[in-house]
Chain A
Amino acid sequence: MIIDLPRFIASERPTWTELDEILTRMEAAPYRRLTLEEANRFHFLYQKVSADLGRIATFASEPALRSYLESLTARAYGEIHETRQRRTRFRPWQWFYIEFPSAFRRQSGAFALSVIITIVGVIFGGFAVALDDEAKEAILPGMFSKHLGDPAKRVADEEKAKHDRLAGSHSTFASQLMTNNIGVSIKAVAFGMTFGIGTILLLFYNGVILGLVGIDYILAGQTVFLLGWLLPHGVIEIPAVLIAGQGGLVLGKALIGRGDRAPLADRLRAVGGDVMTLIGGVAVMLVWAGIVESFFSQYHQPVVPYWLKIAFGCAEFAVLVWFLGSKREAVQEEAP
């Protein structure tokens, strides 16, 4: 096709400018919705610019013009053919209170698997410490070194302590706990991209440590201390890691795609929102767990009675079960 380029540019430029202006407005205010007339006009301009690009595409001497029209078409294409839910203004409370529990329930199968893998790890760790005295030293990482000795001796030391060991460093300790646990949780999700194998190993290892420490204290007759120390933060922290594992397993399942004929990209696209909501919720839970662990869990009897700590942990767990388990209605955004 041979076209009169100067005339073509002169006649079509207003269309390009108008589409460019609409796109710029849409990009600057992504939450604004177009009226029916605006949407019709936008669609008309997109088709017209697409046609112009088709006409100019074989015209070798205008690479800059072609780039401009390609860029315009690509931007409009992204807006017109987007079929996912339109972006709404981010409401932190609605996201945490409604979307996070909803995503959790939607992917409850992966959560159950996450719990099973962790329980298998707990059983393995429990058997290891019960049957082999050297298991603790062989398995526990450096950060758990205070649990290497006799649990009864540690309990006695904690209860005799006259000074607050963390005095002047509670905030630092809390921030270390938060960043470490959130980092582990992000890894649990990210390792889902190893077809879930990395996530399974991480959950299993987490379970092994939990079983190892827990059974060690129980066998030493320190069950009450264990519950008083672990429950206040553990009832949030452990489920948080399990939910992170849930996210990783959801990702792994989408990657494997067993029983789902949709293309890989579609499968990953379908679960992406839920996985990111889960990890966001996990981060909030771990901030709370970090604060509780640093400012509450580290105080033992006689400073804080064990029954109070256990009751606090049970109350937290009840709230967590209600929070994640009960269905809530999302507030619908009003159309402008």
Chain B
Amino acid sequence: MNSELRLRTPEGIVFSYQLAGPISRCMAWGIDLVMISAIHTGVNFLCTAVGAVSLDFALALSLISYFVISIGYGVATEWAFRGQTVGKRFLRLRVMDAQGLRLQFHQILMRNLLRFADLLPACYMVGGIACLVTRRAQRLGDLAANTVVIHIPKHLEPDLENLLAGKFNSLRQYPHLEARLRQRASAEEARLALQALVRRADLEPAARVRLFSELAEHFKEIVTFPPEAVEAMPDEQYIHNVADILFRTRGGSTPPRGTETAQKSKEALAR
């Protein structure tokens, strides 16, 4: 099973999605089961009122409504909320077409109806095993419907001003190397450096030294600064300076991405 789904558009643009694992999907389904029970309880309350007129009709209504709710809940919510049930929304999961195309109604219907095969022999055993062994973490319903369940990452941005400000950054004395670092370092590498700084207090002293040593070695391979700029500079300070370059502009503030753009980003991801 891959943890990532990479899509390449004919224009040569590659973007990737993080695939959801069986555990988070199971938790989402647990929340959905609670939702199904709650909705059915509400409908049963109405059926009780109908029972005053006809007990037979009320029982029939209760039976049919449970059947329809238990099967239709996933279909209706995933269609209405563009691939998300309440449980999936809560755990930031989303169903999408495996090729990145528009999710169609029959795909949603199929993946939900084929749950019966995934449930076999009990407790989602077939579906869980299928999730673990298939390349894109698909249960049988997903395979048939050509869908995947992705995890929508939450970009929690740390307080860069507090984290990176306050110290002289000798690497900034070489603007051309600074620009080269920003150009060559990937987003993942930048995030790794930042996360190491954010979480350094949680690390054991030996692990902390080893981590920053490896990171510093890695970033030194990406761009080599003159010896006088890094002389006697501890690895942790080196990574601090690298993150400062990658995440903040010369003026000391974070690059102006604009509140509107950031807000749009959040809204788009939430959709």
Contacts and interface: CB of A to CB of B under 8 A. Distances in A.
In the complex, which of the residues A16, A189, A276 has the most CB atoms of chain B within 10 Å of its own CB atom? A276
Interface stretch (B26-34, B84-92, B111-119, B227-235): B111-119
B187 A9 contact: no
Contacts of B241: none
Interface string B10-31: 1111010000000000000000
A162 interface: no
A9 B262 CA distance: 11
Interface string A84-103: 10010010000000000000
B100 A61 contact: no
Contacts of B15: 53, 70, 73-74
B208 interface: no
B255 A58 contact: no
Interface string A160-192: 000000001111101110110011001101111
A166 B145 CA distance: 42
Contacts of B155: 63-64, 67
A6 interface: yes
B265 A60 contact: no
A268 B104 CA distance: 14
A308 B166 CA distance: 94
Given A175-B64, A272-B144, A9 B268 contact: no
B179 A273 contact: no
Nearest to A56: B187
Interface residues of A, number: 75
A193 B140 contact: yes
B144 A193 contact: yes
B256 interface: yes
B64 A54 contact: no
B261 A9 contact: yes
A50 B13 contact: yes
B63 A67 contact: no
Contacts of B116: 186-187, 190-191
Contacts of B146: 265, 268-269, 272
Interface string B58-100: 0111011001000100000000001000000000000001111
B114 to A, nearest CB: 5
B64 A275 contact: no
Top 10 A-B residue pairs of the complex, sorted by shortest distance between their CB atoms: A68-B265, A60-B190, A171-B60, A175-B60, A190-B116, A190-B117, A71-B268, A276-B106, A179-B67, A193-B140
Interface of A: 1-2, 5-6, 9, 13, 16-17, 20, 27, 47, 50-51, 53-54, 57-68, 70-75, 77-79, 81-82, 84, 87, 90, 168-172, 174-176, 178-179, 182-183, 186-187, 189-194, 198, 251, 255, 264-265, 268-269, 272-273, 275-277, 279-280
